[in-house]
Amino acid sequence: MMYILRPCAIALCLSISFTTPSAAAGEPAPEWLLHGRDATEQRYSPLTRINRSNVARLGLAWTFDDFVVRGRTHRGVEATPLMHDGVLYFTGPWSVVYAIDARSGAQRWFYDPEVDGAWARRACCDAVNRGVALHKGTLYVGTLDGWLVALDAHSGKLKWRVDTLIDRSRDYTITGAPRIAGDHIVIGNGGAELGVRGYVSAYDAGTGRLSWRFFTIPGPGPDEHPEVALARGTWGKDARWDIGGGGTVWDSMTYDPDLGLLYVGVGNGGPWPAWVRNGGERHDNLFLSSIVALDATTGRMAWYYQTTPGDSWDYTATQNMILADLPIGGRTRKVLMQAPKNGFFYVLDRESGELLSAKPYTTVTWASHVDPASGKPAISPGALYAGSPKLVWPSPAGGHNWPPMAFSPQSSLAYIPVLEMPLRFSTDAGPTPYIPGDYNTAATVSPPDPRTDAALLGASPPFAMQSVLKAWDPAAGRVSWQSAPMPYWGGGVLATAGGLVVQGSADGVLVAYDASTGHVLKRIETGLAIMAPPITYAIGGEQYIVVPAGMGGAMKVGYFPGYAALEYANRERLFAFRLDGKPVPLPDRVAPAPVYPLPDGLPTDPDTLAAGEKLYTRHCARCHAARGAKSGYPDLWNLSPAVDDAFDAIVLEGALGQAGMARFADVLDARDTLAIRAWLAADARALRAHLSTPAR
Ligand code: CA
């Protein structure tokens, strides 16, 4: 059973004529050429045709719906589109690249790298992709299965592709957008929770030849370059290189052409607890959770700044990095700004790496403050969970995750999609094995249980789980305004010279705020979760605001109240808005799923059920976690008889491999799948009995 819907036949795509609409004279910088629009990655557009006085007239211009879909599971859409010469370039799930007319939405071409669907098992957070890079007529995309692909931007034809992975037996993936640094194309990867060692690779933009590679942490072999030797001194003698170590560069990089420096955002450690990673000791572990500045020509390091020494909380420094010139201490400084997961907003001098300020932009308990002299955080003993569970703010989702923030030089404010939530951390009992294909965190996180965690809750700021947009004054280090809460998480952000800040969220609402005051100027309901950041551009005097939509990614494992996907069919779509556009037609309403009879004749003995639950937790729960509740993955507590009959064909033989459900025959056999089915049926029976018992 394999379903691949093709958006259009190649012949049809190529028959569409190529016209290049030109921008109206006098319109400032109408295009969106780089991931963060320009080299500053501020995600700030100078366009003003849509502005705070008329944005109430914003409406739908057109949609693009022809995404490649595999099977029945729709995937997250996280890409930042680029716009050049009248064409929009973006990616969808499965690393598929689309080129469409930026004025009409008509498809020019698409390129499907035909990623092996089983690779989805290696991804922490869905088969997503965050976009392409464009350089001298060539488009670049990193594919989920680790290739860097170069395409002719005009035709979509493959120019070359190169394997970026150093070890294909490890669970590396690529979900981030490549960046251009001079004549190099740079790409990192993901997989810190799945047992990999992080690095970035730079390739010659023309030929695809490897120019340099920078490893973000040491490894089991000889040091590849001087920075690895420097880092090695900050790891334990008995560090767990077998588990990979982490430090993946899975999203942000920013290139400053004036300084020739490429800033690289490095991810968290793997496994999570620093003491497990370092053979019982805590060490800083360079360059985990760091911003590293590299000479883009040579790959040699100019400076580094570590945001979370000895990271034990999944505090990646992979959140987007924005460059600006800010007046600080009476003079203008060339700064780099980042709001990483750990909850502090950092302003660094981007020439030297000097810390200029670090102030909490969300509730933070893992550290009391960052010492301005040493640049180091004062880590709270109450955040170290080696001996007993601890409730720590922010959670591993971070105070800010990948949806990019924006910065407006007009308001001098950064606009951050902020998450407010703690989680309870505990270490796994016993020795930590490296299990290929598994989530090798060596830690468990969960919401606090009021019955058993009263002491933890009593010592913590009041529990919250919310998402807000905060306008942050980086010079003063404080919040200027913040939005009303929205369903957990809010999407990426766009700022414009029209005095607007535009952001969507999981409830499917796109909101335009007044950039200075935070007043809501326009709300557009789309019926589809918006995680990706909107962009804007102009053609022929008309300004468009464009945003891809579709629920997926990390939040796909369980839908929270308010999610659009609870009410409307979730499918990939790109929206284009303009002044005096139309209302958005909402997607079909979700039909309630039939309640299927539970299979009978399965074992019910406690040993089998216990084995089934353990196997389910280890191998299935990372996606199929939502016990009878709604999620973006099929509900295993309510399998149709046809799917239940095919359980072994799917789980052991890979019948749905191309749709993203890999085979698990390397870790499960028919006895195991019987135990999993038995436990699921027994648990579903208990769940249904519970739900049908009237509350008292
Ligand atoms: Ca992580």
pLDDT in tens, 198-214: 999 999 999 999 999 99
Give 139-151 pLDDT, tens digit per residue.
Answer: 999 999 999 999 9
pLDDT over 90 (residue 267): yes
Whether 273 contacts 281, CB under 8 Å? no
Q: What is the dihedral of CA 91, 93, 95, 98, to 10 degrees?
A: -30
Residue 531 C-alpha to ligand 1 middle, in angstroms? 18
Residue 315 C-alpha to ligand 1 middle, in angstroms? 7
Give 437-473 pLDDT, tens digit per residue.
Answer: 888 999 999 999 999 999 999 999 999 999 999 999 9
What is d(CA 558, CA 631) in angstroms, rounded to the nearest whole number? 4
Mean pLDDT of 365-386: 97
pLDDT value of residue 19:
32
pLDDT value of residue 431:
83
Number of helices (H) and strands (E) in the chain: give both, helices first: 8, 42
Q: Domain locations in the chain?
A: 167-401+423-459, 606-692
Whether 151 contacts 91, CB under 8 Å? no
Mean pLDDT of 282-309: 98
Query: According to the per-residue pLDDT averaged within each range, which of 9-18, 20-29, 401-410 is highest?
Result: 401-410
Instruction: Please determine whether the domains at 167-401+423-459 and 606-692 fall in the same fold group of CATH.
Output: no
What is d(CA 504, CA 442) in angstroms, rounded to the nearest whole number? 34
Give 568-589 pLDDT, tens digit per residue.
Answer: 999 999 999 999 999 999 999 9
pLDDT value of residue 17:
31
pLDDT value of residue 438:
85
Read off the pTM: 0.94
pLDDT value of residue 2:
32
pLDDT tier, 12 (very low <50, low <70, confident <90, very high otherwise): very low
pLDDT tier, 593 (very low <50, low <70, confident <90, very high otherwise): confident
pLDDT tier, 627 (very low <50, low <70, confident <90, very high otherwise): confident
Q: Confirm whether 295 is a catalytic residue.
A: no
Residue 604 C-alpha to ligand 1 middle, in angstroms? 37
Residue 399 C-alpha to ligand 1 middle, in angstroms? 13
pLDDT value of residue 691:
85
pLDDT over 60 (residue 13): no
Question: Which ranges of 452-519 does DSSP label H, i.e. alpha helix?
Answer: 454-458
Mean pLDDT of 358-378: 97
pLDDT value of residue 23:
40
Whose CA is closest to 553, among 92, 55, 19?
92
Mean pLDDT of 239-260: 97
pLDDT value of residue 141:
98
pLDDT over 70 (residue 345): yes
Mean pLDDT of 544-562: 95
Structure-block tokens of residue 436: 């290929």
Calculate the average pLDDT of the chain: 94
pLDDT over 50 (residue 15): no
Residue 256 C-alpha to ligand 1 middle, in angstroms? 26
Residue 116 C-alpha to ligand 1 middle, in angstroms? 23
Whether 294 contacts 215, CB under 8 Å? no
Query: Which residues line ion ligand 1, judged by CB < 5 Å?
Result: 192, 268, 314
pLDDT over 90 (residue 682): yes
pLDDT value of residue 28:
64
pLDDT over 50 (residue 9): no
pLDDT tier, 611 (very low <50, low <70, confident <90, very high otherwise): very high
pLDDT value of residue 16:
33
User: 137 by DSSP, 3-state: which?
Assistant: coil
Whether 331 contacts 351, CB under 8 Å? no
Q: What share of the chain has pLDDT > 70, as a percent?
A: 96
Residue 606 C-alpha to ligand 1 middle, in angstroms? 35
Structure-block tokens of residue 587: 């997607």
What is d(CA 307, CA 313) in angstroms, rounded to the nearest whole number? 12
pLDDT tier, 694 (very low <50, low <70, confident <90, very high otherwise): low
Beta strands in 366-412 (DSSP E): 367-370, 377-379, 390-392, 406-408
Residue 201 C-alpha to ligand 1 middle, in angstroms? 20
pLDDT value of residue 162:
98
pLDDT value of residue 24:
43
Residue 113 C-alpha to ligand 1 middle, in angstroms? 26
pLDDT over 90 (residue 256): yes
From the candidates 251, 314, 644, 683, which is the catalytic residue? 314
pLDDT over 50 (residue 25): no
pLDDT over 80 (residue 5): no
pLDDT value of residue 695:
59
pLDDT over 70 (residue 10): no
Superfamily name with CATH number, domain 606-692: Cytochrome c-like domain (1.10.760.10)
Superfamily name with CATH number, domain 167-401+423-459: Quinoprotein alcohol dehydrogenase-like superfamily (2.140.10.10)
Mean pLDDT of 589-612: 95
| Count of beta carbons in the 10 Å neighbourhood of residue 605 | 9
What is d(CA 489, CA 63) in angstroms, rounded to the nearest whole number? 23
What is d(CA 350, CA 334) in angstroms, rounded to the nearest whole number? 6
Residue 190 C-alpha to ligand 1 middle, in angstroms? 8
Give 159-172 pLDDT, tens digit per residue.
Answer: 999 999 999 999 99
Residue 486 C-alpha to ligand 1 middle, in angstroms? 24
What is d(CA 229, CA 238) in angstroms, rounded to the nearest whole number? 16
